[in-house]
Chain A
């Protein structure tokens, strides 16, 4: 791979995404607390927790929420290093984005040009994003996508939307593999470094080939689905009844939301 040819880097990106997809599916099948919670209870609970986290304008409550998510991750046997990376990167990016506010916001000085309201805002914002990302990460790590789709269907999300998401998800690995193969083939055919112009023109034809291949595949899948009776109207199996672990999670959510609403 030449320095002016980051197209080759794309193969690595695709492989990383595919690995992430498979890793999350494996974690979602482990026996842990959140894995055992009913997907609908979990989805609604996580949405409620994120919604109650976002409006806070002091760093304490989002920090407490972040602590709660770490506890939930431990109880659900989610790999902490992966979860920390998933949460830490958006937090770091958010901190960089709002860091100038530590100087720009007027108020009592803390250290040099840094003001107390400024540092408080930057900390609150970063912790708020961290807690929200951590909550979403917990949902994704502990729920199989098929279960999530089943929950959406039960919540009366239209069948068309659910079928579209299901088909897209099912074909992700296939198309990652196909694009990765095209990129690798392109690299293996290259005997010298590509110029910027060559790289762009080749990438255009590579992208066109790939998208046309995907369209053909889509038509084939459509014909196959029709031969089996079509995809429309095909539902997901009903989830099991709500149990003790669901009630425990619902209680945690209710207590947290109530504490958040009653926070002065």
Chain B
């Protein structure tokens, strides 16, 4: 995700650089006192540790590996403002010592990896944690890196220096990082579980909970509401001629003409042959939501060592 010099237009690099400076100035002000005292070395050493932790390769199926990024984890452990400063130090050292990422676009890299990733990750954690803490940690890791990648994709797509359309860059970069984000969420959750077990005092002030029945009621209401509304979304998409970014990219590059269907799909184009398209969308929504919930539940189980409250 480190953008080198030459990829972004100068005005975009300057604009996001100014935005980064503004956010970091607020972060410094909000963490007043924490930086001049004994926490400055703590922050520096933690930043160095996050940098080193990014070298840790983890296996994923297919013979390749991913690495930890750590923005959301830092936000959960240190709070968002100190985490933003620590991640800024990481990104700056990567550029100024190892040449990973550009000099003129340093503000852009800081914006996506130290600002967006940290604050989005922390916001997701704050929103979800009253319902389910492990899910909140996982979602923070996943959302942080996914939205950071989407931000980088928007910067690249908006630059004339980079000839690809925004939709193409979003589809390729965003799609890939949304998948990689699953690994980041899982690593964040594993590291969090370990810290919660061994040093719960570090996370002591972050433990509000909600009863599971309330969670189930709310979750069912939200998912059920979205499924019921899915025909309305389908109608709305038709009215504005919306196409999926990946389909748009495929049509633009001419890849659609060479597309080959390898497997028959259960519900092609979110519909059922011979049935009204909006009813088909509704049924597809129900089937899809149920499948995702079951897969998510099954996939999440091995990542939680025990169900005892901490």
Contact = CB atoms under 8 A, between A and B. Distances in A.
Interface of A: 3-7, 9-10, 13-14, 17, 20-21, 24, 46-47, 50-51, 53-55, 86, 90, 94, 98, 100-101, 104-105, 121, 125, 128-129, 131-133, 135-137, 139-140, 145, 148, 158, 160-161, 163-172, 174-176, 178-179, 183, 196-197, 199-201, 203-212, 214-215, 217-219, 221-226, 230-232
Contacts of B73: 211
Contact of B253 (A104, A140, A183): A104
Contacts of A215: 42, 45-46, 49, 199, 202
Given A54-B161, A212-B198, A215-B42, A204 B98 contact: no
B57 A218 contact: no
Contacts of A205: 190, 194
Contacts of A161: 88
Interface in B172-213: 186-187, 189-191, 193-195, 198-199, 202
Contacts of B293: none
B44 A140 contact: no
Contacts of B28: 158, 160
A225 B41 contact: yes
A136 B277 CA distance: 56
B306 interface: no
Interface string B25-47: 00010000001111111111111
Given A169-B93, A179-B56, A232-B40, A3 B195 contact: no
B44 A136 contact: no
A223 to B, nearest CB: 6
A140 B73 CA distance: 30
A257 B191 CA distance: 49
6 contacts: A5-B59, A125-B163, A158-B28, A160-B28, A169-B48, A218-B45
Nearest to A208: B194
Contacts, number: 261
B118 to A, nearest CB: 15
B97 interface: yes
A214 B54 CA distance: 14
Interface stretch (B2-10, B123-131, B224-232): B2-10
B56 to A, nearest CB: 5
A207 to B, nearest CB: 5
Given A169-B93, A214-B45, A179 B187 contact: no
Interface in B63-110: 63, 65, 68, 73, 77, 85-86, 88-90, 92-93, 95-99, 102-104
B61 interface: yes
Given A21-B97, A168-B51, A219-B42, A13 B10 contact: no
A13 B59 contact: no
B15 interface: no
Of A160, A174, A204, A221, most B-chain CB atoms within 10 Å? A204
A82 to B, nearest CB: 11
B52 A175 contact: yes
B191 A165 contact: no
Interface in B216-265: 253
Contact of B10 (A21, A55, A160, A199): A55
A189 to B, nearest CB: 17
A168 B194 contact: no
A221 B41 contact: yes
